[in-house]
Amino acid sequence: MALFRRASPKDGGGKPGVLARLTERLANTRQALGQNLAQLLRVRRPVDAALLEEIETTLITADLGFETVSVIMDEVNRRVSRREIGDSVAVYAALRTILLDILTPCAKPWPQGAPPQVVLMVGVNGAGKTTTIGKMILYFRERGLRVLVAAGDTFRAAAIEQLTTWAERGEASVISQPRGADAAAVAHDALQAAQARSADILLIDTAGRLHTQSGLMDELGKIRRVLARLDPAAPHEVILVLDGGIGQNALAQLEHFHKAIGVTGLCVTKLDGTARGGVLFAIAKKTGLPIYFLGVGEGEEDLRPFDPEAFVDAILPAGNDA
C-alpha cells in the first residue's frame, strides 16, 4: 500500500505539498524540537560537555522521555568519541539519523489478511477513536475496500450519531443498537453482517475507558471472546488510539491497555496543535509496536499513514534550517 508521498519539486506550485502540510501541522513540535536544536547547533562549534548537556535538555523538554533521551545521548557520545562527529553541525545531522532509526521499526504497512479484517479500536475518553475511525473509513474506501463499522460505544447516543455521520460521508454501513445495549452484542452482530456482506474490513468503535474502570476493561475482553466465536482470528487488530498531546502519559496508557486486551498497533492523534509530538520517539523506542496512522487535525484528510522520514523531515528539517 502506498504510504504518503515525500515532498518533491512538483509540490512547489499551487497546493502546498504533502510534506509542507505536515510541517505546518507539526509546527509546535518542530518549534520545541527542531528549532531549538537548530539554534543550538546551527553555528559551527566544537562538541563539548556543555553542548551535549544542552542537547539533552532540549530533547527532554520536547517530550522524548528520559530513557529514550539517554539512549540517544549514548549514541551521540559514541559517535563523538569515535570521531564520527566533529562539530555541532555534524551533531545535528547525526541526531536526524538516530531519531529516524528509532522510528523506522514502527513503520509497518497496514496488515492485510483474509476478509473481513476485524479491527477493534480502543483508548481512553476523548483520545480520538471515533474521529480516527471516521477518517479510516474514507481512507480504506479510497483504496477500494468495502468498509463496515460497528457502533460499539453504546454509552452515549451522541457517539452513535458521530460515527453514523462519518459513515455516511464514507458510504459505509453502521451496525448499531440503541444506547445502553451490550457492546459485545453489537460487535457480534457487526461481524456476522461483515461476513454476510463480504466486507473487507470491520472497524469497531468502543467507549472511552480508563484502566481503573475494571468493568469497562473487562468488557473489552468480552468483545474479544464474542468475536473469536465467529472467527477465531478476530479481532485481527486491536488498535490503541493515543492522544499525542498528553506526552509521556501515553506510555502509561499503552501499558494498561496492552495488559488488558493486547494491543497490535497504534494511532497517535492530535499531533497538530501540540508541542509534545516528541513522544512518538518514546513510544517507538519503548514499545516497538507498529504505528499505523497519525492524526494531525479533525478533517478527513488529516489522517496520515505513518512515514518516519516525513515525520523527521517535518520536525527536524535537513540542512539545519528549522
Cα distance between residue 308 and residue 100, in whole Å = 6
Q: Which does 270 bind (CB under 5 to 8 A by kind): Mg ion, ligand GTP, none?
A: ligand GTP
**Whose Cβ is closer to ligand GTP: residue 105's or residue 273's?**
273
Helix residue ranges per DSSP H, 82-156: 88-103, 129-142
Torsion sign across C-alpha atoms 136, 142, 145, 149: positive
Judged by CB under 5 A, the chain residues 83 through 142 that form the site for Mg ion are 129-130
- Is 208 an interacting residue with respect to ligand GTP (CB under 6 A)? yes
Judged by CB under 5 A, the chain residues 155 through 184 that form the site for Mg ion are 159
User: 211: which DSSP letter?
Assistant: T
- Cβ burial 44-80 (10 Å sphere, 16+ → b, else e): eeebeeebeeebbebbbebbbbeebbebbbebbeebb
Cα distance between residue 59 and residue 312, in whole Å = 14
Q: Site mask, ligand GTP, residues 251-280, x = CB under 6 A?
A: ------------------xx-xx-------
- Is 129 an interacting residue with respect to ligand GTP (CB under 6 A)? yes
Q: Which of 39, 104, 125, 165 binds ligand GTP (CB under 6 A)?
A: 125
**Whose Cβ is closer to Mg ion: residue 36's or residue 154's?**
154
Q: Site mask, ligand GTP, residues 135-154, x = CB under 6 A?
A: ------------------x-
Cα distance between residue 54 and residue 289, in whole Å = 30
Minimum separation from the CB atom of position 163 to ligand GTP (A): 9
Question: Could you give phi then psi for residue 25, rounded to 5 degrees?
Answer: -70, -30
**Whose Cβ is closer to Mg ion: residue 85's or residue 136's?**
136
- Number of Cβ within 10 Å of residue 2's Cβ equals 7
Q: Which does 25 bind (CB under 5 to 8 A by kind): ligand GTP, Mg ion, none?
A: none
> 176 near 186, Cβ under 8 Å?
yes
**Count of residues engaged in binding Mg ion, rule: CB under 5 A:** 3
- Residues forming the site for ligand GTP (CB under 6 A): 123, 125-131, 153, 159, 208, 241, 269-270, 272-273, 295-298, 302
